Structure 1
Amino acid sequence: MYIFSNIIISFLGYIAISSILTDAFRNNAEECCQTGRIQAESTKTCTTTLQSLITENNTTLSANCRFLAHICCLSNLRHYFCEEGLKTALRLIPCNDTKLESKDTYQICCKCCELGVRAGREHEDCEPVTVLDERCGEQFTNCCKKAKSLNCDSGFEMGDSGRCHDINECLSSPCANTMKCENTPGSYRCVEGCDPGYIWSLKQGECRDIDECALSRHNCSYGHRCENMPGSYRCIRERNCGTGYQVDPITQTCIDIDECEQDIDEPGYLCKNLPGTYKCAPQNCTFGEKFNAFFGRCEKIQCQPGYNVTALSKCVDINECAQKPSPCKMGERCDNTPGSYKCVQTFACANGLEMQDLQCLDIDECELGNHTCLPPATCKNTYGSFYCQCPPGFIFKYGACVDDDECGRGNSICPTNSFCRNTPGSYACDCIGGYKMLAERAFCEDIDECQISPDTCEQKCINVQGSYYCLCKEGYRLNGDKRTCRDLDECSMIANLCQYHCVNTPGSYKCICPSGFSLERGRQCQDIDECQLNTHHCRAEDVCVNLRGSYRCYFVDCPKGYDKLGNSRCQLSARWCNENQNDTNLRCTISKPVKIVYSFVALPAKIRVPTEIFRIRNSQLTANQHAEFDLRLINARDPYTNQTQTTFEHFQLKRFPPHNAHLSVIKELNALQEIELNIEMKIYTNNLLNSISIMKILIYVSQYDFYP
């Protein structure tokens, strides 16, 4: 159901329950509704108030009529928006291509139909989609069935996405030259057009000139005034342009004066115009000429013999020796000179050779001592020269024999776990720390430091390749010297390591429990139940009450008229009742407790609250019976000081009708407390008191906070 339908239902509900609805309103309902329909069809909106319906004689009728007219307007408008959405989708136009895209009803109808069109064109099933509401599903099915026969309307064309797009007819210039083309969805229209600087006048029916000067649409700068012209305007200058410029009579702008056109002529010079002025430049001379400023003419450059002129009009020396062939004879060397050259005789022996009988013979520099080899290098003669030979382990460099650093070559000349040490003329391989050489430059073996000395580590020594490290036994930690160990004080390092008390021992620790407790799992203190283990010293008629860390012998002394059952129960004596029934003060009545039951509870100190400590269950009572309970604090004391801060508010008796009750501690109890509570239980049968029982709860709070 759409939003407009909800509005109709809401307003109709309001009309149905309105106390001011009259027969006159019903009689005019059709007329009121028709007014709303007309407004929707004519204005496509329902926001206009219908003041014409308000009459002076019947404001009630007019007010109700205005409501109904608005409802009918909304309903008709909803129908219109939905129909427009369906039309858009069936025209294969996207739902967001119209001005109605912001209308919810238009969008939902268009989208439901567009989904059906997509399904139909992709040959999907046209059955209604179950997740859509009934109306949307119906629109989906109808549009799906029509999808295969859909084509684009006139003025539209099919796009790549399978949707129709408007054709812009104005691109083909269908209008007259005097008119403008405006594209419209599916078509176009021709409107009157004007040339630039004119605007269409509806009053005159023609294009009228735009006065740019009056409308401040000109761009005249400072010093100019605007003068309107048909279809345009011009800027007229009101200030002088300055030397070298004149005013253009048409544009009224400052233009440069070309002084070169005013017969300014100097012999040999060319006039070149510049903005606001001009300059005289000498004429260009041909290659080999140079401008003579005095005579104003180009003259040929005269160079001295042996020189040539360049493109820059300079005289430069001619290098005759670079010419081919050379101007000198074979065996002569050509030397260039300024403006000339000279030939020099070149027949001579090369260096290292000497002339003998017109032959060049080798000179033995090593034999003559003319070499430059320094010890330890030796001289080796060659034809025309010599070279210096160094002994093994040295190389000749910078004119002398220097040590050859074999270690610096980057090659692995030494074994693993060693380093190369250079020596004069050789090298040595040294093992790194923690290793020793088995054979010269052969292999570096690990040194087992742990076997060399038993005092290497105080407790444990672990050998590793090239080194070792020390370890400590459990409960010890390695000192800063990395070899001795110190004991760890686990008690101070670890919080709550022991439940009661921690004692540090060499390499470990131990937990201690107070008297009456046994050590469990190495750290927890477990209460010793002297009563269960029969290690107590209570009499046979006493109740042995196990406490946390101790026990207590309690003798139950039953009141007069009660028989003691076991060690913790007092039962009203029937014989005593019969013997004393004539005694008005001691006569047995229904209000006298039938039994008194003693229960003992041992609690640790700082018990978590709330904690349930006692339950009363009456499983044998019948459906017509119920129990009522009353809790009382009888006594609470510290056995050492006889003082206490325990009150009734420390406890809570929670009742579970009809028969049961639970006793809980709801506030933290102080340590070393002895507390006595009474719970009175009354049993009713058919709402008549049947019997009374007393539960005495004796609570012993320990000085220790150990939990089981």
Structure 2
Amino acid sequence: MERTVLVSINSSLIKSVALVGSFAPIHGLSFKFLSAPFGACQVQNGGCHPVASCNNLPGSFSCACPPGTEGDGFDCQDVNECELNSTQSNNCSDQAVCHNTNGSYSYNGTHCEDIDECLTGNFTCPDNSNCTNTEGNYTCVCDAGFSGNSSLCLDIDECALGLIQCPNFSNCVNTKGSVMCSCWHGYQGNDTYCEDIDECLDNSTCPLQSTCINTNGSHECVCNEGFFGLNDSCVDINECNNTELCANGTCMNSVGSYYCDCFKGFWSNGTECVDMDECSSNTSVCQNHSTCVNTPGSFRCPCNDGFLLNGAECQDVDECQDPDDSPCPEHSICNNTVGSYLCPCTPGYKPFSLGCEDIDECKDNTTCRSDQVCTNLPGSYNCSCRTGYHEKNYTCVDTDECEKSPCDPLARCWNTPGSFSCHCPFGFSGNGTFCKDVDECVVLTQPCHKLANCYNTPGSYICQCKSGYLGAGPLCVDFDECQQDNRRCHFAATCSNRIGSFKCSCSQGWNTTKDKGHGKGGCLDLDECLSSTLCKQSICSTFCPFQSPVVISVCESVFPFSVWVVLSFPSSL
């Protein structure tokens, strides 16, 4: 790049100089080589920066920034050696403080050693904390169990913050700078466990006539039976104050209990009078056919069921004596026994619950023959042939139901082993016991050709082609009636075939009658002589050759005499 530099001598612009070289820093110096007259540095430092040095060269000069600065000589800027990543380094140690100056820097030493304020005592920390030395400084660390900053350390309430998990049956108790777990009353242990204290191990825990019962964290003193608690002692209860005790006897109080002095017929078990069971002795105290029944303080001897007391004896009762008032259930026979009765079931019945039920003999496959059907009956059974079979020579043979004509007269009866079936013939509907003709002309969608009429018949139907058509298998085709003797049209008429029909058209010279050309009277001769236009001023006469369609008209003129003939032909000729 080319650069122009102005050099002023004696305050006047004398020359323009061109940059001919480049610069490169050497040991912190920057140079510019210029084309200039000899001794250019003598005038205004050669145009260099005021802090730069100007050096005369043969035919030129150069500008160099001093150490501690950087630039091209014309512009020199201070270098901050104290900055990290500076282009010029400093000689300060890690512990020294670097101060940048214009063109240089200053520092307070090349080697610095940390002062331990905690050893020299040159520190200020709050209560419940310790001094901890750091590089070039110190910190105040709160003691364990305290928290805060360098000016204040307060106790940590570990219980409130939930920092301590005490064992079961204990409470968390906060202390200054620490915490402890205190077992509940009635428990003992340490910070890891609390166990129940068994106060009952000490015999002096409860008073006399009582029982010590240990509980979780405590104990209970329960007076023994027959005593009650009074002023931390157990006093005897006079149970005889309760008049309900010792029924059938007299209550006698004792220490902690009582006993009963029983009446006759009772014995004492200690706390009550129990009835004496005279019936429990091996020696019978009652008569035969009776049962000893103990009663409070005594006993009785009622006769057993089926016996009646007669004096001092129990005699048998005949329950079957009255046939109208039998104690037995239906379908049984009453048999009297000593002191009771039996009800055996009648034949064909068996005992069931409190009665007799029918025996189903048909459950046994051998009751009837293999070709028979077993039918259970009340108290019996019946063996019969299956439906459709009858007994013959001790064998069940098939019954031919068709012999009795069970079907509809129109149906066919088919006998099968043990049964029969009825089948209506084709063209009839029904189950065979009744048959009804099917109207195919109604049921079928299109039973006949579209040019035919359907006629229902018993069991079938017929298709008849409409007038003017002939049947050709299942089809109906047009019939040319004119091929059959002119289809009986008038001899003066022409037969014209139509689809499904024909037409008789009378020839010219004939009029169509009400028979429309059919038959002998279908066409009527037209008398042309009645027409005033046919034979003008002449005599007209007409005639037809026998059975000819040609009409001949003759016109005769009187004066002058002349004759001419007019022939009329049918339009088809």
Instruction: Select the structure that is richer in strand.
Output: 2
TM norm structure 2: 0.32
TM norm structure 1: 0.27
Instruction: Select the structure that is richer in helix.
Output: 1
Bigger CA radius of gyration? 2
Structure with bigger RCO (C-alpha 8 Å, 6+ apart) = 1
